[in-house]
Amino acid sequence: MNALVLEDNPQIMDLYSTIFSSKGSNVDFASDMFSCIDKFLNPDKSYNFVILEKSARFDEHINLEDKILSINPQQKIFFLCPYITPRSSEFDNISETMDLIDKPFAMISLLSYLEINTPIISQ
């Protein structure tokens, strides 16, 4: 499995790296929205899923997740959200390619959840 994670905290990145590598999965990190899109646009890479901390504005007209879906409409996106349900107005338009993961969670449980809920993309 290949993942792209938008995360700017080095300690959290280390934790993700340890957990993903222990399962034989690869993870790329982006520290901001623009580097996330740059990595996503790399023609030599494809990701089974993208993990975003929350919905964020890419520019004044579009959210980051909408930008990602405009590039690949089938891309699976997971939001890590503290105590937010799909009824939250921030996620009124959540699509079948998006999913919410409530915080807090055990990191090893996250990987199992992702494996169950992610379609396999051939490399």
Predicted local confidence at residue 9, as pLDDT: 84
Residue 4: per-residue pLDDT: 94
Average pLDDT of every residue of the chain: 76
Q: Could you tell me the sign of the dihedral formed by the alpha carbons of 39, 102, 56, 107, in that order?
A: negative
pLDDT value for 106? 54
Residue 108 pLDDT more than 90?
A: no
Q: Is pLDDT at 99 greater than 70 in this prediction?
A: no
Superfamily of domain 2-116: Response regulator (3.40.50.2300)
**Do 19 and 27 form a contact (C-beta atoms < 8 A)?**
no
Task: Give the pLDDT of residue 82.
Answer: 56
What are the residue boundaries of the structural domains of the chain, listed by start? Answer: 2-116
